[in-house]
Structure 1
Amino acid sequence: MRLKPLVDPGPELTRDQVQRYSRHLLLGPLGHEGQRRLLASRVAVMGAGGLGAPVLQYLAAAGVGHLTIIDDDVVEPSNLQRQVIHTMADVGRPKVESAAAHVRALNPEVQVSTHHGRLEADNARDLLGGHHVVLDGTDNFPTRYLVSDTCAELGIPVVWGSILRFDAQVSVFWSRPAAAHDETPAPPGVTLRDLFPMPPPEGTTPSCGQAGVLGAMCGQVGSVMATEAVKLLTGTGEPLLGRVLVLDALAQRWSELPVRPRPHAAPAPTPVAADGEAPSDDLPAITAAGLAARLDARARGTDDFVLLDVREAPERGIVAIPGAVNVPLGDVLADPQAVVHRLDLHPPGGVARELLVHCRSGQRSAQAVRALTDAGARAVDVRGGVLAWVADVDPDLPTY
């Protein structure tokens, strides 16, 4: 079903605009009027990362009049495998600044606003309100649900994308869609909560930083998202409202699933840190520097403990803390008693050895410490995990 355009046409095109956007003007369903709508539109892009990079480039090239970029991160070398809007010269720079500079260089006509910070419950309405459409390319569940819930309240459509490893999903969520013709009933509104009523339990779904992502696939998915935004803004074609595109990049196959409204919306989740890291202030903990000192003492025979790495094997192939044994978090949570027995923490006639647990940044190790403590271990969380080890102990090691 065709939907009503989100934007009224702006002024007539100038000669330079006709030349620049001529390939759009040749498309009958889009044409001059559609391009004038694009030039009058305001679009917010959540995240200037793997999905935000192609989204921003194609929306700027398409002539979207105003782009708002929202991201709280800075450019890191590991981003450059997929976040093609940034370069090596941008490492250490806020992503919103790097992305904005690229957008302005690509199309000086586009007005760009930036917000270098997190989207929070107390600023979401102000940051997202006033836009015709929001594109969500974020990589954590609290922000995704906050974007969806806020836009549902404001009646703003959301173009949503999600990627992990070799798989991706794309859809359009809109709580109050309008049909293109007054005599045609509008389709039912759907939101993220109609697809996934609640976020998954904490720690059950890995992030791209833990599981990886095929970089080129971000371009595929981001391009689809940008296309959906253009269609919504101009009333062209049939958007993905009520449908989810699912990509299996290894098989290079797209499939489609329907989305229907659920009778009752689930309550909004409590926001947590943007990277999904679970607070662990209530746990026994040691710093990376403290771990280094204890590893030195263990090497001299004056300390005795077990260092447990609960990451997956491919992560250890990138960087590892010397002297750690590996049991992935899934195995720990499946049978913590068996892990305690396997690690021989209770030698006959001896004092139970401490179990120091680390992961990449602290989320998974906190879960493991709680489970292993319940199983009778003297478990201690290594705060900040491998990232803290590299930052504070061995900066020559790579991170991811």
Structure 2
Amino acid sequence: MTQASTPVGEVFERLLGPRATVSITAYDGSSSGPADAPVSIQVRSPLALDYLMSSPGDLGLARAYVAGALDVTGDLYTALHALSAQVDQLTPADRLWLLRKLGARHLRVVKPPAEEHPSRIRRGMTALRHSKGRDSEAIASHYDVSNRFYELVLGPSMAYTCAVFPQAGASLEEAQEHKFDLVCRKLGLQPGMKLLDVGCGWGGMVAHAVRHYGVEALGVTLSREQAQWAQKNIVSLGLADRAEIRHLDYRDVTETGFDAISSIGLTEHIGARNVPGYFRFLAEKLKPHGRLLNHCITNPDTSVAHRSRGFIDRYVFPDGELEAPGELVTAMHDAGLEVRHSENLREHYALTLAGWCANLDEHWDEAVSEAGAGRSRVWALYLAACRLAFERREIELHQILGVRTDREGGMGMPLRPDWGI
């Protein structure tokens, strides 16, 4: 009978430790933590304990939150700051203590929330991973949620990649504009040049490059929803004579002879084993002296596994894989691209995610109406967790600039970088 009478608040107090800055209230009437804590966690049903005990690492917490069995009052990022590290660091002794207090009934297998993707094993053979068909399905599952939902989260720029803040206090929109302009300057864009933007999203880079640098641009994306929104926007801006957005796999681009290629946030989706072929393909699309700017999330070092796991793999980016910056640099050089510059924008992505979190909070009711409560909870958790991961240097963001040299080794670039900050 001891197991059944153990207050849930006591259990979470053990999980969080004595210095936790969150309070806990539970369905059994128990509580723990300081009453004046800035963040309160509500354990609404025994299902939260089932998920926590039966799921590894962060997956249990994610399932409980997405299902609504565990809720947060206050800033979700602050709650994660207190929760995630403690749960990830549970020792065998801690788990044995939880088992004694909660009882074996909480070890039962519980059906995950509807928003969860199957495990990698259930999704199919490794050999099929990152085939065109499977990549298309993975992209659609994440990006084809609702264009209106993305407008609420991302803001007017519709830029779903790391912004670059020119100074402290810059707005998210200013930082996204600055990011696109920085990429244009690193690529050395000039009027009349031909630009290819792979993984173009809602077309922000294409529109900026055409409007401000006078180039002709082609953008491609695997998301049908993105392509339709982006092409409509290109037409509304009066740029259709110089810009086009296609619903197309980058591997199916037939044009060649580009002066520049931008890849902003695509590499995370192609798979580590495909990185060499990816850079070879893009290098072949460039003219001599043509530049490639690859902007993507990276692992902090090569000891970290390529494949995403847990919550991110099951709810956010199925089949997503990250590489360390050195692996990307090596692959670019092996593909015939000479790397001329690399920049880590890790802190900028944390700031970007903070902006997206604020947008989602501000428009929460409309987001739930548009995409559903479960999907909105997935996004709230994902954005806050990624912000924390960038701050802790669990992941990074690198822009790497390469050039296709001519036969004599000429690279057509100034002796020193000329794109400023």
Report the TM-score range of the alignment, normalised by the length of the smaller protein: under 0.3
When the two structures are superposed, what TM-score results if normalisation uses the length of structure 2? 0.24
When the two structures are superposed, what TM-score results if normalisation uses the length of structure 1? 0.25
> Which structure has greater helix proportion?
2
